[in-house]
Amino acid sequence: MSLLKNFATVGGATMASRLLGFVRDTMLAAVVGTGPVADAFVVAFRLPNLFRRLFAEGAFNSAFVPLFGRAVEEEGDEGARKLAGEIAAALLFCLLILTALAQIFMPAVVWVLAPGFIDDAQKFDLTVLMARIAFPYLIFMSLLAFISGILNTYQRFAAAAFAPVMLNIVMAGVLGTVLMVGVDNDRLLGIILCTGVAVAGIVQLAVVAWDLKRLGFSIPVFRPRYTKSAKRLLALGIPGVLAGGVTQINVAVGQIIASMQDGANALLYYADRLYQLPLGVIGIAIGVVLLPSLTRQLRGGHEDQYQRSLNNALEFSLVLTLPAAVALAVIPREIVSVLFQRGKFDAIAVDGTAMALAAFAFGLPAFVLNKVFSPGYFAREDTKTPMWFAAIGMVVNVALSVALFPVFKHVGIALATTVAGWVNTGLLGIVLWRRGHFSPDVRVLRKIVLILAASLLMGLILHFSAVGLSGWLFGPALPIRAAALAALVLVGMASFAIFAQVTGGSNLIGHVKSLKRRNT
């Protein structure tokens, strides 16, 4: 199965998840707006996600997949099962200890992550309660990441890609019930929301566990031991965890600073959710598919295939990312207004979210390219270099966040994130190239320039189209506003496709035909 087909599988599933996520977030905006429950929910939900990305996704994507791939190639399925059982036992043991400590010291954790809440005792206590309920989500998502690594190594991407859809389905059901029934008590509303998060984690884990059973891969049950495989995972994983930790420190610092401005965490959350759509669809698809592919090609001594995979991933990522970034930067207010402005989400919230979204948009290509270049290191079991580059990015992010917040408020935090993303990605790409581990194809570089030109031309058309549709985009009737936004999106997609095809930036028609051939 080709990289393009695998990208399409994971990207399509992620697209479905993100679209359902918009349904969830529009309902969340209507239920809680940008008030105290919204701020508390953002902190409570981000806390398990912070540790999930730190210990699960970061460590396993950078260390477990290459180790497991080597075990499959060198020791066969039996050796791979043994390694998986040893790692699973150690992982679950660590997760249970971490969860217990988090439950005990949750007030201190919230105090560190959201010091601005201390002046509002009711908001602080609500955040502590909600965080305690939501934190077990970490266990389920970490085990999901572990099982997904196994499935991806065996070229089974669909179940792991579709699992996040279940979070949005469960939460949409919870929020829909709240909207129908009506819950005025903030404490009860917070409990309901975070309980929904925990239940969604169980459902997501069940999806990948079912696919693992279909694969016929059973994980033996061992007691936690410090085995040779655990030592190797630890040696590779610690830099991966630290690199992920640096990224999450950036998130935490932004959250801490934003807590000083009422509603800022919620504004950044909604903006983050919007730019996470293209980042998730493109970046996650590339990160999930590329690492096992590069690992397998290097283990087999196929350097030419390795270089071709990296160049194809670079081209594919920017064909989708550059037009998305331009669109988010050109029409952020139109997007936010149609998707979120209702209920407690007013015009002021629209403006604040739109400004943050525009700032994030300029960093979108960097965040996606990070997913292209990082596997080039991880596939060679080099997790230390990305760790140091992430640390440099963290220093840039923290310094700029502190410097820009007094002037630009929450938008300064988004700008700092964007600049730091480009610094990190630039270092990854340059060093990978200087080591000879990435040889940019001149043909691909030429196409990227043409794709950028096509994206900028599309941006001009979007701008003038938005001006022409402004009466409908900001009118009182939601169906008309939604139809106008849909028309604007179609205009942008069509204009970019035409410019890209005519200039030779990308043969989009050829890619579609290629996918159709592989599906038949």
Q: Give 251-304 as a DSSP string.
A: HHHHHHHHTTSTTHHHHHHHHHHHHHHHIIIIIIHHHHHHHHHHHHHHHTT-HH
So what's the pLDDT on residue 207? 93
| Same domain as 330, residue 424 | yes
Q: Is the CB of residue 69 less than 8 Å from the CB of residue 60?
A: no
Domain boundary pick from 440, 460, 492: 440
So what's the pLDDT on residue 320? 83
- Both ends of the chain: CA-CA distance in Å? 13
| Same domain as 448, residue 321 | no
CA distances to 48, 137, 484 from 467, in Å: 42, 44, 11
Q: Count structural domains, the chain.
A: 2
Phi-psi region at 155: left, alpha or beta (left = phi > 0; alpha = psi -120 to 50): left
Which secondary structure element, helix H or strand E, spans residue 340, and what is its range?
A: helix 332-340
Give the burial string for 180-189 (b: 16+ CB within 10 Å, else e).
Answer: eeebeebeeb
Phi-psi region at 374: left, alpha or beta (left = phi > 0; alpha = psi -120 to 50): alpha
| Same domain as 337, residue 242 | yes
Which secondary structure element, helix H or strand E, spans residue 121, and what is its range?
A: helix 121-134
Q: Is the CB of residue 66 less than 8 Å from the CB of residue 295?
A: yes
Angle, alpha carbons 244-250-256 (nearest 5°): 135
CA distances to 65, 199, 243, 250 from 136, in Å: 24, 10, 23, 23
- Rounded to whole angstroms, the maximal C-alpha distance in the chain is 66
Determine the structural domain holding residue 131 and report its residue range.
Answer: 3-440
Q: Per-residue confidence of the chain (520 residues) as pLDDT tens digits?
A: 455 566 666 666 767 777 787 778 778 877 777 678 888 888 888 778 776 666 555 556 667 777 787 788 778 888 889 888 988 898 889 889 989 999 999 999 888 878 878 888 888 999 999 999 999 998 998 899 889 888 888 878 778 778 888 888 898 888 888 888 877 778 888 889 999 999 999 999 999 999 999 998 989 988 888 777 777 777 766 676 666 556 556 666 777 787 778 777 778 878 887 887 777 667 666 766 777 778 777 877 788 888 888 888 888 888 888 999 999 999 999 998 888 877 777 788 888 889 999 999 999 999 888 888 888 888 887 878 888 898 898 889 889 988 998 888 889 998 998 999 899 999 999 999 999 888 888 888 888 899 999 999 999 999 999 999 888 888 777 788 889 999 999 999 999 988 888 887 766 655 555 444 544 4
Phi, psi at 233, each rounded to 5°? -65, -40
Report how far residue 160's alpha carbon sits from residue 491's, in angstroms, rounded to the nearest whole number.
33
| Same domain as 404, residue 378 | yes
| Same domain as 265, residue 140 | yes
Report how far residue 63's alpha carbon sits from residue 350's, in angstroms, rounded to the nearest whole number.
41
Give the burial class of 383: count Cβ atoms within 10 A of its Cβ; 0-12 exposed, 13-18 middle, 19 or more buried. buried
Alpha helices in 157-278, H assignment, sequence order: 158-181, 186-215, 228-258, 264-278
Of 337, 235, 265, 239, residue with least CA distance to 44: 265
Report how far residue 223's alpha carbon sits from residue 88's, in angstroms, rounded to the nearest whole number.
9
Angle, alpha carbons 300-305-308 (nearest 5°): 155
| Same domain as 470, residue 348 | no
Domain boundary pick from 423, 440, 457: 440
Q: Is the CB of residue 319 less than 8 Å from the CB of residue 331?
A: no
Of 190, 167, 189, 165, residue with least CA distance to 178: 189
| Same domain as 200, residue 137 | yes
Report how far residue 385's alpha carbon sits from residue 391's, in angstroms, rounded to the nearest whole number.
10
Domain boundary pick from 415, 440, 465: 440
Report how far residue 459's alpha carbon sits from residue 448's, in angstroms, rounded to the nearest whole number.
16
| Same domain as 9, residue 133 | yes
| Same domain as 344, residue 268 | yes
Of 4, 89, 14, residue with least CA distance to 315: 4
| Same domain as 180, residue 32 | yes
DSSP state of 117: G
The alpha-carbon radius of gyration of the chain (Å, integer) is: 22
| Same domain as 229, residue 98 | yes
| Same domain as 464, residue 365 | no
Report how far residue 179's alpha carbon sits from residue 210's, in angstroms, rounded to the nearest whole number.
32
Q: How many Cβ atoms from other residues are within 10 Å of residue 34's Cβ?
A: 25
Q: Is the CB of residue 151 less than 8 Å from the CB of residue 211?
A: yes
Please enumerate in sequence order all residues whose Cβ is within 8 A of that of 76, keeping only pairs 6 or more positions apart, or say none. none
So what's the pLDDT on residue 456? 94
Q: Is the CB of residue 263 less than 8 Å from the CB of residue 349?
A: yes
Identify how many contiguous H helices and E strands the chain contains and give both numbers: 22, 0
Q: Is the CB of residue 28 less than 8 Å from the CB of residue 178?
A: no
Please enumerate in sequence order all residues whose Cβ is within 8 A of that of 485, keeping only pairs 6 or more positions apart, or say none. 334, 335, 338, 339, 473
Q: Is the CB of residue 196 less than 8 Å from the CB of residue 171?
A: yes
Please enumerate in sequence order all residues whose Cβ is within 8 A of that of 258, keeping only pairs 6 or more positions apart, or say none. 116, 264, 265, 268, 410, 413
